[in-house]
Amino acid sequence: MEQTPGTPKALMAAVIGMGILIVVGTLGLVGVIIHRMGAHTPPTSAALSAPAVPLQDAPAHPVLPAGTHLISMARVRDDLLALHVSTNGEERILLWQVSTGRILPGLDTAAPSDGATP
């Protein structure tokens, strides 16, 4: 390999070394991606033994008290949803157990009142 005049040997060695590092890093990254694609974990036995709930028995929507408006909904667990509702201007969080259709007590989002006016 011919060197152009004025190019130090240390600079050429650094460029070749960085090129080798780029190739090794790319091969390592491709290897990790292939390994993760092939490493599927089987489902746990708890998921396999859980009884299925027939769709016709599960309610399509929770029964909320009259005057209550649903603001948002978020999943807590597989069978539990958090419902952000508003009733007469007061906001609350309710927990809905989907498989049974029960509404569980949640929490009030209103700040506690100490009697003082702002």
Q: What pLDDT sits at residue 25? A: 97
Q: What is the 3-state secondary structure (H, E, C) of 53-67?
A: CCCCCCCCCCCCCCC
Q: What is the pLDDT along the chain (118 residues), one digit of tens a residue?
A: 565 677 899 999 999 999 999 999 999 999 999 988 887 665 554 444 444 444 445 555 666 777 888 888 888 888 888 888 888 888 888 888 888 878 777 776 665 555 554 4
Q: How far is it, in rounded angstroms, from Cα 83 to Cα 70?
A: 7
pTM: predicted TM-score of the whole model, two decimal places: 0.41
Q: How far is it, in rounded angstroms, from Cα 108 to Cα 102?
A: 18
